[in-house]
Structure 1
């Protein structure tokens, strides 16, 4: 086709025939099959009386040929008399948003149904994270309720410091957010869980005997070396002293502790059938066992609360916080003064709570008072 020849459009064809197309108004289509025509019918207009033109409408969906090839019948179409405005232009589809939400058209309104947790089913990590957050919230609410109950039940306690309960709650918060060596390597973690209960009690006692003036890391490593030999009172008795000392080194005073351990196993075999005593009096009578070890051993090995285990950490913190009527020089003095006023329900947690706090924040030298929640109510914060 030559470039200067214009291609005749449908409008030009109608214009040559003398027919004029003058759109005057939008006409609502009725849902009637005889009113629906195809696009091919537009060019076959019939003239009415007095040269008038009878208009026939067509389907905007498909041509007749396309629908006949697809085996479809005439589709009824309804058009609404409503001009198109920019506000009704469909926005770009967001595939991610479509996955997270379902849109339902109800009249002129669009209802969006959102998935609360879209990835929980497909992602176990997200589900675990949500579970942890929910558990933390439940734990926080439970702790809040317990705090209110504690404040009510402990209101009549005659404590040396009036803000002792605030000290305790702040230490609980700080301990829950920061782990300490005692949490993973304390004496309660040193026994072999695969051994029988009698052997586990014996290993608890041995760990306590080694822990005196020794860091938890050193005690834990020494107990691991001992557990490789599956220690029982009889095996420790038959073990040469030099070999036992090598296993205990570098525990503080390891030679003295090896000697005490040898003497202790003799008593346990002869008097307690290779088990340990089930009372504080007999435990203290064993070589190298003091009151602190005895009370902690009763709690860990026998699950009995007989007293507060006061070591150097508990002793230091009680004096710094003013939990004793007057300064004490020995841990045993602190234990006696503390047990006179501290409610019995708190005895079981004081040692573990204060030891971890003393290992991480309220350290012996240069305590981290800036990180402590008690810095405004601690009598030793500015000393």
Structure 2
């Protein structure tokens, strides 16, 4: 039996963790050869919006909401002009809809005022956009421009990375920093996708399918 909230052991050496990360990526690529971002989007703005909405919400639910959202408000300027109550009503089912609507209007305002309506392609500028932290910024940078600044760390990535002994941190920014030292930048994007796929299919937080796990040999919380 594996604990769903393990206490990390002392980290192994950096070379050992790099070797393990490489093996994990190879194993998961065999299982998920077509791994990709599951948020449906047409451009950088739509992906930014979808990623903001995905906080504490499933990607499947976000994908149900965004078609109508972008039909009603197709550009950042439309988000600025829309009454916030209309945005709230459209995104209500994603949860925390008041805070998310406020963030989206703020993001649209910043992008129109300072970036001529274009989502910036640099981390330093992206994290100044309301509602955008390093996770959202790395999603956009990785998917749109293929230049993430670090590994995208969501709950799956952080939890599974701790189980595998790749990090001993819980703060997402610290997890990102540790994980990003274990692989080349070219692997940042897919590493996140692969661990998310694995977390959804096999290494579930409440009921992990350890008998079917192809990473079990590296799991440091296994019985």
| TM-score, reference length from structure 1 | 0.52
2:87 alignment counterpart:
244
Matched, 1:259 2:116: no
Match of 1:170 in 2: 27
The structure 1 residue matched to 2:200, chosen from 341, 355, 359, is 359
Please tell me whether residue 201 in structure 1 is matched to residue 44 in structure 2: yes
Q: Which runs of 5+ in 2 are unaligned?
A: 1-13
1:311 aligns with 2:154: yes
Report deviation, 1:375.
2.1
Counterparts in 2 of 1:346 and 1:303: CA distance versus 1, 3 Å:
closer
Pick one of 165, 178, 190 that aligns with 2:41: 190
Unaligned runs of 5+ in 1: 1-156, 192-199
| Rounded Cα–Cα distance in structure 2 between residues aligned with 1:165 and 1:244 | 43
Give 1 or 2: higher strand fraction: 1
Alpha-carbon distance change, 166 to 259 in structure 1, aligned in 2, over 3 angstroms = same
Contact 1:170–1:374 under 8 Å retained in 2: yes
Distance 2:183 2:68 in 1: 38
C-alpha displacement at 1:301, in angstroms?
A: 2.4
CA distance in 2, matches of 1:318, 1:264: 31
**Deviation at 1:161?**
7.0
Choose the corresponding residue for 1:349, options 171, 183, 190.
190
Match of 1:211 in 2: 54
| Cα-to-partner distance string for 1:198-220 (whole Å, 9 max, x where unaligned) | xx221111111111121111111
Equivalent-residue separation in structure 2 for 1:304 and 1:345 (angstroms): 8
Q: Deviations over 1:144-187 (max 9, x none)?
A: xxxxxxxxxxxxx71337544333222222224xx8xx85x723
* Equivalent-residue separation in structure 2 for 1:266 and 1:217 (angstroms): 27
Q: TM-score normalised to the size of structure 2?
A: 0.86
CA contact (8 A) 2:25 2:194 kept: no
For 1:230 and 1:286, the matched residues in 2 are separated by 19
Matched pairs, number: 210
Shift of the 367–262 alpha-carbon distance from structure 1 to 2, 3 Å rule, reads same
Q: Which residue of 2 aligns with 1:337?
A: 178
User: How many Å separate the matches in 1 of 2:16 and 2:139?
Assistant: 24
Q: Could you say which residue in structure 1 is the equivalent of 2:5?
A: none
Alpha-carbon distance change, 342 to 232 in structure 1, aligned in 2, over 3 angstroms? same
Contact 1:361 1:371 in 2 (8 A): yes
Q: Closer, same or farther in 2 for the Cα pair 1:239/1:352, shift >3 Å? A: same
Quickly say closer, same or farther: Cα 1:168–1:380, change in 2 above 3 A.
farther
Runs ≥4 residues deviating over 4 A = none
Tell me which residue corresponds to 2:7.
none
- Higher-Rg member (1/2): 1
Give the superposition deviation at 1:225.
1.6
